[in-house]
Amino acid sequence: MSTTKKAKYSVAIADDHVLVRKALGRLINTFSDYFMLFEASNGEEVIKIINSREIQLPDILILDVNMPGMNGYETATWINNHFPQIKVLALSMLNDESVIIKMLKSGAKGYIMKNVEPDDLRDAFDSIIKKDFYLPDYISGKVISGLQRDVLSVSEKIDLTPKEKYFLQLLCTELSYKEIAQKMYVSPRTIDDYKSSLCEKLKVKTRVGLVIFGIKYGLIDITN
């Protein structure tokens, strides 16, 4: 059975800077497949608009990470719990591993910097709509390979040991590598070995890459 492509996808923006919201809105309306649905200054306003039922739900919600009141983390968590069909794209000036991981763990489908080119923003939209995920290579300053795969073959099995799975879960926290070693009762050198082994198995290069792969393919329980 053939599927009909949606004419246009709706986008909402939550950012406490008026000029940023207005500029993004004008830019989005120039994209042939997308249009601006509404804008908000923080998470509380997003929830109020969505709960009013006066407008359709947005296909994509751009969330500034740092907003007064209800911030990006809290808002993404609320959206993921109540309206998981809304795809959250985190927006920030911060290229920080802990911030990226926390937003993805909160339910964001992607992360993008505020200084991107217009084409990059449109690519992010396209990837989130088509692949349910987006992360550009420049986020960590290194190429994170293997994260833009369309799907994992059902027959493809990721064989991780119980300790590797536990280590992967701990990577999704704010613990340092030293603290993870203490929690697992192993040496920092062993933690390095776990990381190297997982990077080799999952074909990624950084902690962010490991966490994103784990979240994307269900290897990490984000409810913990």
pLDDT in tens, the chain (224 residues): 444 556 699 999 999 999 999 999 999 999 999 999 999 999 999 999 999 878 889 999 999 999 998 999 999 999 999 999 999 999 988 777 778 888 888 889 889 988 889 999 999 999 899 888 887 766 643 333 333 343 344 335 577 888 988 998 898 887 889 999 999 999 999 999 999 988 888 878 788 888 877 877 777 765 55
Residue 92 structure tokens? 């920030």
Fold of the domain built from segment(s) 158-217 = Arc Repressor Mutant, subunit A (1.10.10)
Q: Which of 38, 34, 36 is nearest to 46 (CA)?
A: 38
User: Where does the chain hold its CATH 1.10.10.10 domain(s)?
Assistant: 158-217
Residue 63 CA: distances (Å) to CA of 43, 71, 143: 8, 9, 24
Residue 212 CA: distances (Å) to CA of 1, 34, 60, 99, 108: 33, 26, 19, 13, 11
d(Cα 37, Cα 40) in Å, to the nearest integer?
11
Counting Cα atoms < 13 Å in the Cβ hemisphere of 41 gives: 6
User: Where does the chain hold its CATH 3.40.50.2300 domain(s)?
Assistant: 9-148
What's the pTM?
0.71
9-148: CATH class = alpha beta
